Amino acid sequence: MTTNSFLLGMAGLALVAGAANAGLVTTHTTSGTGATVNGTLDANEYGAGNANVYLGGGGGFGGTLGASQMYITSDATNIYIGFQPGNNLNDLVAIQIDSRAGGFTDATSTDTSDGGRRAASNLAGNADDAYPAGFLVDYSIVIGNFGIVTFEHTGGASMNFVDFNGTFTGGAPTFREYTLPLAALGITTGFNFFAGYVADGGYGSDESMPGGAINGGGNVGDGVVSAGYENYHEFVVPAPGSLAVIGLAGLAAARRRRA
Ligand SMILES: [Ca+2]
Ligand SMILES: [Ca+2]
Ligand SMILES: [Ca+2]
């Protein structure tokens, strides 16, 4: 066995172990080419056949998040996100992003100064929703009928505003796209993410991305008990210019660092 094939084997084992033990559901790697942020899902803009798609679960609010599709890719500078709601977008999709070491939980980030900030920091407003094991959130992207807004978690009752984009608005279940510099989300080698769907006032649904235990218990509502979120998806950005074998080894290391 060559050194390279040994390293590849070890990286493969790490990926399998992660999927089995840590709640990782779907991993996609960047296509290396950006999408066109025009509100339409064009051919091959999120990987060949638009294969860079992530799915959810649950339908307590009508399947807006649970039956949605989220597409992600990146180029050398920017990340691109496409979101196809599964039903009318009446509430708030809160995407929780773990892109770097350190970060926060529902219990340690509590900005309730408006509905978008509450969704980003608390998900269901009155319950301390559990996050996946080892998952510490760094940034949140909130998609609503007002547009798309991004925050950086800092701990406590205040988050940093990162970006607002009002290009795609309204409650109709139309395709929306968004782009930000990778650096604006602290992304170097990729990130882990999950999403919840909650009302502006904090009433929590049973919908999630990826699917999980929360999908089976009815809407969380205004209660203090939530099944929380035990699963996450992953998007990988190999280090520029790295050999494939180094990229895989770095990928395993990067997943550890994100906690
Ligand atoms: Ca497009
Ligand atoms: Ca909560
Ligand atoms: Ca983190």
Task: Answer whether 72's CB lies under 8 Å from 80's CB.
Answer: yes
Give the residue numbers spanning the domain of 205: 3-258
145/17: higher pLDDT? 145
Q: For the packed helices 3-21 and 244-258, what is the interaxial angle rounded to 10 degrees? A: 30
Of the bound ligands, which one is closest to the alpha carbon of residue 257? 3
CA–centroid distance, residue 185 to ligand 1 (Å): 21
CA–centroid distance, residue 141 to ligand 3 (Å): 15
Of the bound ligands, which one is closest to the alpha carbon of residue 109? 2
Of the bound ligands, which one is closest to the alpha carbon of residue 50? 1
**Residue type for 139, please?**
Y
CA–centroid distance, residue 112 to ligand 2 (Å): 11
CA–centroid distance, residue 175 to ligand 1 (Å): 9
Q: Name the band, by pLDDT with cuts 50, 70 and 90, for residue 127.
A: very high
CA–centroid distance, residue 33 to ligand 1 (Å): 12
CA–centroid distance, residue 202 to ligand 2 (Å): 8
CA–centroid distance, residue 70 to ligand 3 (Å): 21
Of the bound ligands, which one is closest to the alpha carbon of residue 185? 3
Of the bound ligands, which one is closest to the alpha carbon of residue 198? 2
CA–centroid distance, residue 41 to ligand 1 (Å): 5
Of the bound ligands, which one is closest to the alpha carbon of residue 228? 2
Taking the CA atoms of the chain, what radius of gyration do you get in angstroms?
A: 17
Lowest pLDDT segment from 73-82, 192-201, 240-249: 240-249
Q: What's the pLDDT score for residue 239?
A: 72
Question: Whole-angstrom Cα distance, residue 150 to residue 94?
Answer: 10
Q: What's the pLDDT score for residue 21?
A: 45
CA–centroid distance, residue 41 to ligand 2 (Å): 32
Provide the token pair at 251. Answer: 């990928």
CA–centroid distance, residue 211 to ligand 2 (Å): 17
CA–centroid distance, residue 252 to ligand 3 (Å): 15
Give the chain's domain count: 1
- Residue-wise pLDDT for 23-69, tens only, equals 999 999 999 999 999 999 999 999 999 999 999 999 999 999 999 99
Report which of 94, 86, 90 is spatially closest to residue 129, judged by C-alpha positions. Answer: 94
- Residue-wise pLDDT for 200-256, tens only, equals 999 999 999 999 999 998 999 999 999 999 999 999 998 766 545 444 555 555 554
Of the bound ligands, which one is closest to the alpha carbon of residue 221? 2
CA distances from 243 to 16, 57, 175, 240, 248 (A): 21, 36, 35, 9, 9
Question: Whole-angstrom Cα distance, residue 173 to residue 83?
Answer: 10
CA–centroid distance, residue 114 to ligand 3 (Å): 23
Task: Answer whether 223's CB lies under 8 Å from 84's CB.
Answer: no
Q: Name the band, by pLDDT with cuts 50, 70 and 90, for residue 179.
A: very high
Q: What's the pLDDT score for residue 8?
A: 43
